């Protein structure tokens, strides 16, 4: 029960932070659509995607290892900090030089080279912030990364909207994103140092351990960056930058909606899974199933809204006729979002139980599948084809992960929740279709009420989960100082 109380508290903090950051991202997305247009937005989105495609080991590499290892041995936090930052700084220098050279070899224009250069420095700030965030998460100090994200996204949205409204260039917007990432990193670093101190000398033993054990994570990072970013790069080579803008307009929403597993798995459940893996199989299995139930209950209605209300969402956000081309992209990405939620849980099981050496199987399979299918479907269906490949890749990953995860940890009991949540989502979809000519602001409240009502009637949330949640909340209230 104490663990559940901690999870509820951490989730509440994260939800508040996510509400703020999601709203900020929404405001910035509206600014992109209204003030940049599809072509300029395509240029910025391509620069961001190219940088992440080349620099994925810096942006996401080593973070899961840090969370897992420091959660088990908190006294090693300072040594992991200095060692991880040293590795990432060396990798960034190599990557940044490669990016600038690539831009020259491919004869990109001056504006595009400037965007890549700025986004490359943003990559460094994000990587530093992610390192400190991983250390905070390992100690279950969720508030510091959450506030850091609020600072970053809030600055991006406020400054970006004001500057774009007054005619700022796309390069200025890239500089704003850079400032936001640095502010986030400074916040998290400042709090970590005040709580734990600082160690500037890397630990050779930990550096060797991180490098030796990083191969499965890096290979899986290849997977993530391929099905997340390669579609954008291939579109830029095979189609116009305008088509990239249509694709990016929908994909930005897809990116934003991945916050549910990002909110629950990495910062909250991965440290818990890691502890349970060496203590109790029963507790680990229960934690996995409860997490899957939550992902299903949250994920299915979101994916349903993406399909049935896509015209309303795109119309509200971008307010330009050319962005109607993004509607089928958003609809094609919807199934992939649900499979991504499932994959986030299954891969976290592999990591927390020390089976990350199986992750290269996922990476290799997705690499061949994704690139091959993109080369076939992009010429046929352009931006919609790239979105279809993303969803099909996520489906493939789900199938392979089910085989790789230990059988006793598969959340089979969640299938009942899937069926009931799907029924509630279908009822919600019918209600949304009846309101399809109304504003998205009128549709969403009705959709939420219908889904919650149908879910309660169908008992989509298991009674034992409701009882455990009620008991945890009640106990938390009782221990609060009067």
Whether the predicted pLDDT of 9 surpasses 80: no
Among 51-65, 343-357, 387-401, the range scoring the smallest mean pLDDT is 51-65
Whether the predicted pLDDT of 41 surpasses 90: no
- At 478, the pLDDT band (50, 70, 90 cuts) reads very low
Average pLDDT over residues 226-237: 78
- At 472, the pLDDT band (50, 70, 90 cuts) reads very low
pLDDT value of residue 72: 80
Q: How far apart are CA 293 and CA 417, in angstroms?
A: 6
Task: Name the DSSP class of 356.
Answer: G
* Radius of gyration for the alpha carbons in the chain, expressed in angstroms and rounded: 22
Q: Which residues contact 101 (CB under 8 A, 6 or more apart)?
A: none
Among 82-91, 446-455, 465-474, the range scoring the smallest mean pLDDT is 465-474
- At 398, the pLDDT band (50, 70, 90 cuts) reads very high
- Burial per residue of 12-32, b for 16 or more beta-carbon CB atoms within 10 angstroms, e otherwise: ebbeebbebbeebbbbbbbbb
Q: Which residues contact 367 (CB under 8 A, 6 or more apart)?
A: 222, 223, 226
- 468, two tokens: 């455990």
Supply the range of the domain harboring residue 295.
2-478
Q: Is the dihedral of CA 367, 393, 403, 60 positive or negative?
A: positive
Question: How many whole angstroms from its chain centre is CA 68?
Answer: 18
pLDDT value of residue 11: 58
Query: Per-residue DSSP letters for 30-84?
Result: HHIIIIIHHHHHHHHHHHHHHHHHH-HHHHTTTHHHHHHHHHH-GGGHHHHHHHH
Q: 0.75 cut: is pTM over it?
A: no
pLDDT value of residue 435: 92
**pLDDT, mean over the chain:** 84
Q: How far apart are CA 389 and CA 235, in angstroms?
A: 13
- 2, two tokens: 């104490």
Residues 84 and 131 sit within 8 Å (Cβ to Cβ): yes
| Number of structural domains in the chain | 1
Residues 3 and 136 sit within 8 Å (Cβ to Cβ): no
Whether the predicted pLDDT of 461 surpasses 50: yes
Q: What is the pLDDT of residues 27-40, one digit of tens each?
A: 887 788 778 877 88
Whether the predicted pLDDT of 15 surpasses 70: no
Q: What is the share, in percent, of the chain residues with pLDDT greater than 70?
A: 89
Residues 220 and 347 sit within 8 Å (Cβ to Cβ): yes
Q: What is the pLDDT of residues 288-334, one digit of tens each?
A: 888 899 899 989 999 999 999 999 999 888 878 888 999 999 999 99
């Amino acid at each position: 029960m104490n663990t559940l109380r901690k999870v509820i508290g951490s989730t509440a903090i994260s939800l508040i932070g996510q509400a703020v950051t999601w709203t900020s991202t929404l405001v910035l997305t509206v600014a992109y659509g209204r003030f940049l247009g599809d072509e300029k937005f395509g240029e910025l989105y391509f620069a961001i995607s190219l940088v992440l495609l080349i620099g994925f080991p810096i942006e996401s590499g080593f973070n899961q290892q840090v969370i897992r290892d420091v959660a088990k041995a908190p006294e090693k936090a300072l040594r992991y900090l200095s060692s991880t930052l040293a590795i990432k700084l060396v990798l960034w220098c190599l990557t940044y030089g490669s990016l600038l050279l690539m831009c020259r070899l491919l004869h990109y224009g001056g504006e595009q080279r400037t965007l890549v250069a700025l986004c490359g420095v943003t990559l460094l700030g994000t990587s530093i912030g992610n390192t400190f965030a991983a250390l905070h998460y390992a100690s279950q100090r969720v508030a510091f990364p959450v506030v850091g994200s609020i600072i970053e996204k809030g600055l991006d949205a406020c400054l970006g909207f004001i500057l774009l409204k007054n005619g700022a260039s796309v390069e200025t917007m890239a500089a704003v994103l850079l400032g936001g990432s640095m502010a986030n990193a400074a916040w998290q670093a400042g709090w970590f140092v005040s709580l734990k101190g600082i160690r500037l000398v890397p630990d050779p033993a930990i550096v060797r351990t991180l490098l030796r054990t990083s191969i499965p994570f890096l290979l899986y990072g290849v997977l993530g960056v391929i099905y997340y970013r390669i579609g954008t790069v291939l579109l830029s080579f095979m189609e116009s930058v305008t088509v990239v803008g249509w694709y990016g307009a929908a994909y930005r929403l897809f990116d934003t909606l991945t916050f549910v597993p990002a909110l629950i798995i990495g910062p909250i459940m991965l440290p818990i899974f890691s502890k349970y893996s060496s203590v109790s199989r029963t507790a680990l299995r229960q934690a996995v199933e409860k997490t899957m139930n939550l992902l299903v209950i949250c994920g299915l209605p979101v994916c349903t809204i993406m399909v049935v209300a896509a015209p309303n969402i795109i119309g509200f956000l971008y307010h330009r006729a050319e962005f109607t081309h993004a509607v089928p992209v958003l609809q094609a990405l919807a199934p992939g979002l649900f499979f991504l939620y499932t994959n986030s849980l299954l891969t976290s099981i592999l990591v927390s139980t020390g089976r990350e050496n199986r992750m290269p199987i996922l990476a290799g399979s997705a690499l061949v599948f994704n690139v091959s299918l993109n080369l076939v479907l992009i010429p046929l269906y352009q931006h919609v084809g790239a979105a279809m490949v993303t969803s099909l890749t996520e489906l493939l990953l789900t199938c392979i992960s089910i085989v790789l995860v230990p059988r006793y940890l598969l959340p089979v009991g969640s299938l009942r929740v899937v069926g009931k949540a799907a029924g509630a989502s279908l009822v919600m979809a019918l209600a949304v279709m009846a309101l399809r000519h109304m504003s998205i602001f009128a549709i969403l409240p009705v959709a939420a009420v219908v889904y919650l009502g149908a879910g309660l009637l169908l008992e989509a949330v298991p009674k034992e989960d409701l009882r455990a949640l009620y008991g945890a909340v009640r106990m938390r209230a009782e221990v609060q100082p009067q």
